[in-house]
Amino acid sequence: MAISDYPSHLSLPQTNPGVTTVLEYLIIKFPYIDAPIWQQRIARGKVHYHDGALVTPHSLFQAQQRIYYYREVESEPIIPFKEEIIFQDEHVLVAYKPHFLAVTPGGIYVNECLQHRLRKRTGINTLQALHRLDRVTAGLVIFSINPSTRHHYHNLFQTRKIHKTYQAIANISHNETLIGQEWDIKNRIAQGEPRFRMQVATGNANSHSVIRCVQQSAKQALFELNPITGKTHQLRLHMQTLGWPILNDKYYPQLQPLSKDNYSAPLQLLAKQLQFIDPMTKLSRRFDCGLSLSLNN
């Protein structure tokens, strides 16, 4: 059994969904976690309020209460790849995340995530990710260190003042000449079926990427991608839209059967660079993960 060292939290909604107790709400909020599991967690003191007071089986639902709980999984895979700290000051930490490592806890991953590893490595328990990368994507992630300045860095993402550069590799046809070409992709991204898989939908565009080809071989091409917006799976869908789905993508264009991670065939998508004006120091920041994707043929 793997139990998170740090609690996750949620706020009870303003509108009561028809429950009497906090326990009842947790059961309907997380349908994939059996009711006896929540009962056991509460009995062991693993569910509490913001002030540390324990939630009991009879604790009444009250809107906007913040509830803390500890994620548990029966068996947590160990990701055999190392993260790297690229930069650290009193406000932020920039780290390289390897393929297959989650940024924060989720699903079957509790302690095997970048945030937990960095908290343990640095001893900074206030460390918090400012944005996300897909678990199967490698590259740079920015973490806030100082809670009092965190909102300034969140604002960079909300106002699109961080310039991100990715690399991706895709298979191409033998007669395609793509080097130097650039594509400006705008479309609407919405939840598909199943819900974790996104799709391009009709309606006003809510996603925007600029993609260019910088290198190619007989069967593959290396692309540089600059997302203007930050929708879930945006770059993966935009590459598919162009007709060149990213190499080793298990979701697009076709959802592959659930299987163990193939460490020898990672998704060929890398968050390579980040650029922004630091809101605290007013300095221009440019970070590079120091790695590049390579064509195989």
Per-residue pLDDT, 134: 96
The dihedral region occupied by 18, where left means phi > 0, alpha psi between -120 and 50, and beta the remainder, is left
The pTM assigned to this predicted structure is: 0.86
208 φ/ψ angles, rounded to the nearest 5 degrees:
-155, 125
Question: d(Cα 202, Cα 198) in Å, to the nearest integer?
Answer: 13
Query: Which of helix, strand or coil describes residue 59?
Result: coil
Do residues 256 and 250 touch, judged by C-beta distance below 8 A?
yes
Question: d(Cα 255, Cα 270) in Å, to the nearest integer?
Answer: 21
Give strand pairing partners of 102.
113
What amino acid occupies position 194? P
pLDDT at residue 1 greater than cutoff 80: no
Q: Which among 253, 222, 225, 250 has a CA at the least distance from the CA of 237?
A: 253
Per-residue pLDDT, 208: 97
Query: Which of helix, strand or coil describes residue 29?
Result: helix
CA atoms within 13 A of residue 198's CA, in its CB half-sphere: 18
128-150: buried (b, 16+ CB within 10 Å) or exposed (e) per residue? bbbbebbbbbbbbbbbbbbeeeb
Per-residue pLDDT, 240: 96
Render pLDDT for 231-290 as a digit per residue (tens, 0 to 9). Answer: 999 999 999 999 999 999 999 999 999 899 999 999 999 999 999 999 999 999 999 999
Render pLDDT for 10-66 as a digit per residue (tens, 0 to 9). Answer: 999 999 999 999 999 999 998 878 899 899 999 999 999 999 999 999 999 999 999
Per-residue pLDDT, 31: 86
Q: CA-CA distances (angstroms) from residue 257 to 8, 126, 180, 210?
A: 30, 38, 36, 31
Render pLDDT for 102-138 as a digit per residue (tens, 0 to 9). Answer: 999 888 898 999 999 999 999 999 999 999 999 999 9
Question: d(Cα 179, Cα 172) in Å, to the nearest integer?
Answer: 12
CA angle 127, 134, 188 (to 5 degrees): 120
Do residues 237 and 200 touch, judged by C-beta distance below 8 A?
yes
Among 208-212, 227-231, 235-239, 293-297, the minimum mean pLDDT is found in 293-297
The pair of three-digit structure tokens given for residue 132, joined into one six-digit string: 């996300």
Per-residue pLDDT, 195: 85
pLDDT at residue 72 greater than cutoff 90: no
Q: Compute and round to an integer the Cα radius of gyration of the chain.
A: 21
For the chain, domains (ranges, CATH) are 2-73 (3.10.290.10), 84-161 (3.30.2350.10), 163-270 (3.30.2350.10)
CA angle 130, 103, 246 (to 5 degrees): 105
DSSP for residue 244: -
3-state SS track over 82-114:
CCEEEEECCCEEEEEECCCCECCCECCECCCEH
Question: d(Cα 12, Cα 22) in Å, to the nearest integer?
Answer: 8
Per-residue pLDDT, 297: 67
List, in order, residues 6 or more apart from 263 with CB less than 8 Å away. 80, 81, 99, 100
Q: How confident is the model at residue 74 (pLDDT cuts 50, 70, 90)?
A: confident
Per-residue pLDDT, 123: 96
